[in-house]
Amino acid sequence: MTAEARVSRKEQLIEAAAVLFDRQGYYTTGVEDIARAIGLSKPTLYHYVRTKGEIVAWIHDEIMDILLRRLEERVSSGLSPIEVLRLNVIDIIDVMDTKPGHLRVFFEHHREIPEALRREAKVKRDRYQALIELTIADGIEKGMFRKTDVRLATLALFGITNWSYQWYRPAGPAKSQEVAQHLFDVFLGGISATGPDGSEPVPAVLHGADGSP
């Protein structure tokens, strides 16, 4: 089998597994179910993958590579910290829109990744978090964000965006970018009519970069 054909088969396995894990649950889906979904026998499947955990690692890498690549491009392009974070939220909701099953596996089953593959997965997650922290720190230094705990602010952003996979539905009434924009507005300015010190809150970003009309 050529390398190209092997990659194609891997992509088929990822797609089939993500759908099955999402539809009938990770723990009730067997490797034989995945094999059957793409027309393989169980012994043939073992030529490509041995365990469900390995497929989880593949799914994790696919999602992480998409988000990390986009984030790195935004950071290196010179966009403002506000715009980098805004587009990052859009990226996450976009993946929820296009790969809902993949993202559910990513969030709920990353601990199933085999020990031998966990280090690489952790390196990517740590790199992603570090870039968000650097972006927030840069925004504080430039006076775009008030002084706050950078790590806690990063975790708050993750909490607002990542948990939305539990309730967001691609076929829902709001489009993905509208949902992403609303979540980002809540993160950036909160929902209080005034800031924590009684000052005017940060305005919602409703238009282009940095909220410019």
End-to-end CA separation in angstroms for the chain: 54
In Å, how far are 28, 105, 138, 150, 154 from 82, measured between CA atoms? 42, 29, 10, 14, 13
Distance CA 78, CA 208 (A): 15
**Which residues contact residue 16 at a Cβ distance below 8 angstroms, ignoring those fewer than 6 apart?**
34, 37, 38
Domain containing 207 — which CATH number? Answer: 1.10.357.10
- 108 and 196 share one domain: yes
Listed in sequence order, the residues at least 6 apart from 158 whose beta carbon sits closer than 8 Å to its beta carbon are: 129, 132
Residue pLDDT, tens place only, 98-133: 999 999 999 999 999 999 999 999 999 999 999 999
Q: Domain boundary residue among 10, 29, 50? A: 50
pTM: 0.83
Q: How far apart are CA 44 and CA 12, in angstroms?
A: 14
pLDDT score of 212: 36
- Amino acid 209: pLDDT: 39
* DSSP code at position 1: -
Q: Is 180 exposed, middle or buried (0-12, 13-18, 19+ CB in 10 A)?
A: buried
Contact (Cβ atoms closer than 8 angstroms) between residue 183 and residue 164: yes
pLDDT at 191: 67
Ranges of residues in the chain whose predicted pLDDT is under 70: 1-7, 191-213
Residues 163 and 194 in one domain: yes
Query: Which of helix, strand or coil describes residue 68?
Result: helix
Domain identity same for 43 and 56: no
Domain with residue 38: its CATH number is 1.10.10.60
> Measured between alpha carbons, how far is 162 from 72 in angstroms, rounded to an integer?
19
pLDDT value for 48: 87
- Can you give the residue range of the structural domain that contains 200? 52-211
Rg over CA atoms, the chain? 20
